[in-house]
């Protein structure tokens, strides 16, 4: 059983979700491109005249760009389509949740689990993750109504499937980032045969499934602070027969023994994490890795050094108004310096932008 078989919209629900998908394509496509064109043709020449030079930061650009019709149209469409997305998936989420909860309860009683689920109701979830609705997901990632709540995981999958199912590429979109990580591992560390793997910020474990299957001899551990995501991930992993051990723990303080993992990885975790905790997480990666072990992270390629000023302004707007509060903090970090500060040797660290399909990922890591 896959996550798509648990989250199953009716024809009417899917039609509504596909409509939202169309709005998302418009916002991220032609509307966003119009902002860029307006900046080049209108805003930039005006700023060059006013400043007597090219603008040097997004702060010098944002007020002028935000006043344009193109930017305001993009912002309204982006914000409204995000809210409509959550409205569209809620009917499916609420309809399928009772059956999914019953399946999880049955799993507890059969005793035939291949992996495990460890939840810690006493875990102090760090702020602002504990009180932030990331992506504007209702209740955020960590909101749970009861000890059996799967709604956060269902919402998360439903939101991701608006993009995937609408294009007829559900499977590719679901595990594509895992394939990117696996491709990087194969290229950089072709002889790596990990016995123990630690997956930080694993969420519902979609990418975890593919990686665990690629290394069937390895003991696979996934860590996240969000109980509702972990419950859903555990349900799907068990239905698929994939042995993954899910833990509700803090990526900055995992509680695992020092030098106990051959591979530590994450997928799009750092841009969803308060950047103030980033150094602690990297130090924890260094601590739990065995000598010679590998650290590999893949995330969004939104680094300020890579983006034009108009795109930086649009990203900063997402930070303030559209549920991406940690984007800028991550984008402005020098990850090479951060890894070295965490204890990794400069000669063993790497950062790279990697083309994967139609998107670009920011990949960084090191060997211990």
Please give the angle made by the CA atoms of 159, 160 and 166, to the nearest 5 degrees: 95
Predicted pLDDT at 279? 98
User: Residues 320-345: what's their mean pLDDT?
Assistant: 95
158 within some domain: no
Q: Please determine, for residue 322, whether its predicted confidence score (pLDDT) is greater than 70.
A: yes
Q: What CATH number corresponds to the domain at position 196? A: 3.40.50.150
Same domain for 283 and 359? Answer: yes
Same domain for 146 and 63? Answer: yes
Alpha-carbon distance of 125 to 226, in angstroms, equals: 9
Confidence of residue 165 (pLDDT cuts 50, 70, 90): very low
243 within some domain: yes
- The pTM for the full model equals 0.93
Predicted pLDDT at 167? 38
Confidence of residue 3 (pLDDT cuts 50, 70, 90): low
Domain extent, residue 327, equals: 170-367
What percentage of the chain reaches a pLDDT higher than 90? 82
What is the overall mean pLDDT for the chain? Answer: 92
Non-local CB neighbours of 6 within 8 Å, separated by 6+ positions: 96, 100, 103, 154, 157, 232, 235, 236
Q: Please determine, for residue 212, whether its predicted confidence score (pLDDT) is greater than 80.
A: yes
255 within some domain: yes
Same domain for 143 and 181? Answer: no
Same domain for 355 and 299? Answer: yes
Same domain for 94 and 229? Answer: no
User: Residues 183-194: what's their mean pLDDT?
Assistant: 96
137 within some domain: yes
Same domain for 142 and 212? Answer: no
Q: Render pLDDT for 54-102 as a digit per residue (tens, 0 to 9).
A: 999 999 999 999 999 999 999 999 999 999 999 999 999 999 999 999 9
161 within some domain: no
More confident residue, 162 or 230: 230
Same domain for 145 and 255? Answer: no
Same domain for 237 and 134? Answer: no
User: Chain-centre distance of CA 41, in angstroms?
Assistant: 34
160 within some domain: no
Same domain for 358 and 226? Answer: yes
Got the DSSP string for 118-150?
E--TT--PPTTGGG--GGG-TTTTT--SSTT--
- Number of independent structural domains in the chain: 2
Alpha-carbon distance of 53 to 31, in angstroms, equals: 28
Same domain for 272 and 208? Answer: yes
Q: Please determine, for residue 114, whether its predicted confidence score (pLDDT) is greater than 80.
A: yes
User: Residues 302-330: what's their mean pLDDT?
Assistant: 93
User: Residues 232-255: what's their mean pLDDT?
Assistant: 96
Same domain for 298 and 178? Answer: yes
Predicted pLDDT at 178? 86
More confident residue, 321 or 357: 321
163 within some domain: no
37 within some domain: yes
Report which DSSP code applies to 58. Answer: G
Predicted pLDDT at 144? 75
Predicted pLDDT at 172? 38
Same domain for 283 and 186? Answer: yes
User: Residues 317-338: what's their mean pLDDT?
Assistant: 94
> Quick check: bond before 297 cis, omega within 30?
no
């Amino acid at each position: 059983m896959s996550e798509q078989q648990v989250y199953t919209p009716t024809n009417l629900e899917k039609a509504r979700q596909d409509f939202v998908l169309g709005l998302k394509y418009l916002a991220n496509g032609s509307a966003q491109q119009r902002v860029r064109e307006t900046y080049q043709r209108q805003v930039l020449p005006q700023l060059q005249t006013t400043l007597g030079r090219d603008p040097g930061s997004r702060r010098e650009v944002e007020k002028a760009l935000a006043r344009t019709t193109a930017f305001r149209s993009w912002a309204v469409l982006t914000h409204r389509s995000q809210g409509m997305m959550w409205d569209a998936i809620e009917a499916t989420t609420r309809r399928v949740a009772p059956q999914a909860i019953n399946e999880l309860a049955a799993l507890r009683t059969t005793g035939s689990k291949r992996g495990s689920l460890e939840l810690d109701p006493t875990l102090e979830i760090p702020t602002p993750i504990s009180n932030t609705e990331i992506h504007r997901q209702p209740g955020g990632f960590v909101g749970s109504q009861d000890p059996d709540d799967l709604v956060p995981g269902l919402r998360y999958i439903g939101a991701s499937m608006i993009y995937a199912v609408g294009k007829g590429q559900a499977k590719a979109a679901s595990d594509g980032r895992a394939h990117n990580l696996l491709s990087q591992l194969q290229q950089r560390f072709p002889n790596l045969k990990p016995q123990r793997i630690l997956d930080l910020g694993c969420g519902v474990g979609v990418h975890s499934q593919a990686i665990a299957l690629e290394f069937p001899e390895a003991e696979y551990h996934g860590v996240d602070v969000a109980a509702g995501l972990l419950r859903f991930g555990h349900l799907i992993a068990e239905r698929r027969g994939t042995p993954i051990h899910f833990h509700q723990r803090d990526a900055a303080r995992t509680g695992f023994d020092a030098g106990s993992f051959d591979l530590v990885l994450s997928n799009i975790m750092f841009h969803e994490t308060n950047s103030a905790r980033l150094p602690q997480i990297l130090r924890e990666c260094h601590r739990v890795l065995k000598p010679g072990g590998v650290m590999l992270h893949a995330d969004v390629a939104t680094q300020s050094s890579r983006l034009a000023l108009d795109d930086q302004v649009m990203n900063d707007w997402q930070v303030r108004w559209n549920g991406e509060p940690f984007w800028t903090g991550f984008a402005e970090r020098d990850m090479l310096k951060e890894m070295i500060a965490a204890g990794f040797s400069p000669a063993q660290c790497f950062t790279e932008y990697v083309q994967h399909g139609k998107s670009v990922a920011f990949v960084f890591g090191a060997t211990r």
